[in-house]
């Protein structure tokens, strides 16, 4: 089964690269969000996943040792397709994921919930997601709490974006030198 690709993939990837966040060090604010998500769901794994061209990279993670996976394996590749939360109650019964190596092997994903994160409407860069090794449905309260955490996460990403833009403007002004 081929992976879906958003219609605005080129713009989405440009926005992701312009953010200059891929491969950066862990940051306490992002880490706190995944810890909160994990606690809300009482699940072993929570991630801030940013979906690039060929891989998904984890800006923040708890309960998982790897820093990235192939986009071909990424549940979050489905989450970025629109503005809705993706819920997979049992990955072994979902035709999109039942043969996925992350389901058939470690970390043995059964339950997945992902909330898309974007800097602007319709341009999801990744997701805030929670994973469990046990199939289940989230409660409405858990879904609402994940949405709230995603709003905070989007605010952090916008602040990061604004800082990077300010740095670029400052560097440009310095290279232009003083006006004569």
Residue-wise pLDDT tens digits, 8-58: 999 999 999 999 999 999 999 999 999 999 999 999 999 999 999 999 999
pLDDT reported for residue 173: 86
Q: What is the mean pLDDT of the chain?
A: 94
More confident position, 58 or 163? 58
Helix, coil or strand: residue 42: coil
pLDDT reported for residue 110: 99
CATH 3.30.450.40 fits 9-175, yes or no: yes
Report residue 179's pLDDT band, with 50, 70 and 90 as the boundaries. Answer: low
CA atoms within 13 A on the CB side of 48: 28
Q: Is it the case that residue 177 has pLDDT exceeding 70? A: no
pLDDT reported for residue 178: 67
- The domain segmentation of the chain, as residue ranges, is 9-175
| Beta strands at 111-118 and 45-51: parallel, antiparallel or unpaired | unpaired
- Rounded mean pLDDT, 136-162: 97
pLDDT reported for residue 164: 87
pLDDT reported for residue 168: 85
**Least confident window among 47-56, 78-87, 144-153, 164-173:** 164-173
Distance set, CA 107 to CA 27, 103, 112, 118, 178 (Å): 24, 7, 12, 27, 56
> Could you give the angle at the alpha carbon of 108 between the alpha carbons of 106 and 112, nearest 5°?
125
d(CA 86, CA 88): 7
Phi, psi at 79, each rounded to 5°:
-65, -35
Q: pTM here?
A: 0.92
Report residue 2's pLDDT band, with 50, 70 and 90 as the boundaries. Answer: confident
Report residue 146's pLDDT band, with 50, 70 and 90 as the boundaries. Answer: very high
pLDDT reported for residue 137: 98
Residue-wise pLDDT tens digits, 87-131: 999 999 999 999 999 999 999 999 999 999 998 887 999 999 999
Question: Which region, left, alpha or beta, applies to residue 82 given φ > 0 means left and ψ of -120 to 50 means alpha?
Answer: beta
């Amino acid at each position: 089964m081929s992976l879906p690709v958003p219609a605005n993939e080129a713009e989405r990837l440009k926005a992701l690269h312009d953010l200059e966040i891929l491969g950066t060090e862990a940051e306490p604010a992002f880490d706190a969000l995944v810890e909160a998500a994990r606690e809300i769901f009482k699940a072993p794994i929570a991630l801030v996943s940013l979906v690039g061209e060929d891989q998904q990279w984890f800006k923040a993670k708890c309960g998982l040792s790897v820093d990235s996976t192939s986009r071909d394996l990424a549940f979050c590749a489905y989450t970025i397709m629109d503005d809705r939360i993706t819920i997979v109650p049992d990955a072994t019964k979902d035709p999109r994921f039942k043969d996925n190596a992350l389901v058939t092997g470690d970390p043995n994903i059964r339950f997945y919930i992902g909330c898309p994160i974007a800097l602007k409407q319709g341009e999801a860069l990744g997701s805030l997601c929670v994973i469990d090794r046990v199939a289940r449905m989230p409660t409405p309260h858990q879904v609402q709490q994940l949405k709230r955490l995603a709003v905070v996460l989007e605010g952090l990403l916008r602040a990061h974006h604004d800082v990077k833009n300010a740095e670029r403007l400052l560097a440009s002004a310095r290279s232009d030198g003083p006006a004569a």
